[in-house]
Every structure is written in structure tokens, then in C-alpha cells.
Amino acid sequence: MSAKNALLALRFAADPRRLRRVRERVQVLAEHLGCTRSQVSDLVIAVNEACMNIIQHAYRGDKSGQIMLEIRRDGAELEVLLTDFAPPVDHRAIRPRPLHELRPGGLGTYFIQASVDDCVYGHLADRVGNYVRMTKKIN
């Protein structure tokens, strides 16, 4: 996905304090595109949870890391791409924990899967880093 074709392209520090502005930008874009209230909420949740996973698990809380967010529309589908430049993550280990385990945290992947139609994780081919590509059908 090229930033020049993106409806939204942001680069921001891997700092949880930056996510409020990211959520606001995603919400405004989704509303502008005519998404339903539920679709807007789903997109905001998915982007927020994916960013938190990058911050906590890829960068391990290192706020000097960078995250790139790009959103593009392809017909009735939005594609969200989040890219980090952290060491490669074992994508086989990314899965939601069982819901019956009562403890804080660990539900980000569950919320992402419940909020989007498809979610794919990968490593950057030409440099160190990871990506998550999420797609969501919209009206």
C-alpha cells in the first residue's frame, strides 16, 4: 500500500498517549466515508488494539519506536495497514487468549478479530519490522 494512495497516512511515536489522536482521525475518516456507527466503532477499536499490541509486544514499551498507519478504500472495503520497525515478532504466537481466563489484558487480538473481516500479520521484506493488515467491509 502506498501512502500516496492512502485516505489517511500517519506516522507517530509508539506511545500510548499518541493513540487518542489516532483514534480521532480514524473515526473522522470512517464517518466521512459513510460508515455506520457500528463500523466506525469497529475500526477505531481494531486500530487502537493493534497499536497497543505493537507498543507492548513489538516495541516492548520503547516509546522511541515509530508506527505507520495507512488506510485505503477498495470499493466496499477498507484496508488498514499498520507498520512498525521493531524486531520480527513470532506471528504464530499472536492469538487471543481463552475468554474464560479471568485476568486483565490479553484481549486485544480477540477484539481485533471481532471488529474486522480479515487480519493478516507479516514481516517487512526489505527491512526490519512487522505489519498487520486488516480489512473491513463497509456500506
Task: Kindly tell me if the per-residue pLDDT of 54 is higher than 90.
Answer: yes
The CATH H-level superfamily of 3-137 is: Histidine kinase-like ATPase, C-terminal domain (3.30.565.10)
Cell numbers placing 69? 498507519
Looking at residue 124, its pLDDT comes to 95
Distance CA 115, CA 26 (A): 14
Task: Kindly tell me if the per-residue pLDDT of 1 is higher than 60.
Answer: no
Looking at residue 82, its pLDDT comes to 98
Structural domain boundaries in the chain: 3-137
Looking at residue 111, its pLDDT comes to 87
Helix (H) or strand (E) holding 51: helix 37-53
Contact 84, 130 (CB under 8 A): yes
125 phi/psi in degrees, rounded to 5: -75, -35
**Local confidence band at 94 (pLDDT 50, 70, 90 cut-offs):** low
pTM, two decimal places: 0.89
Task: Kindly tell me if the per-residue pLDDT of 92 is higher than 90.
Answer: no
Looking at residue 90, its pLDDT comes to 77
Task: Kindly tell me if the per-residue pLDDT of 132 is higher than 60.
Answer: yes
Cell numbers placing 38? 457500528
Mean pLDDT of the residues in the chain: 90
Distance CA 24, CA 84 (A): 20
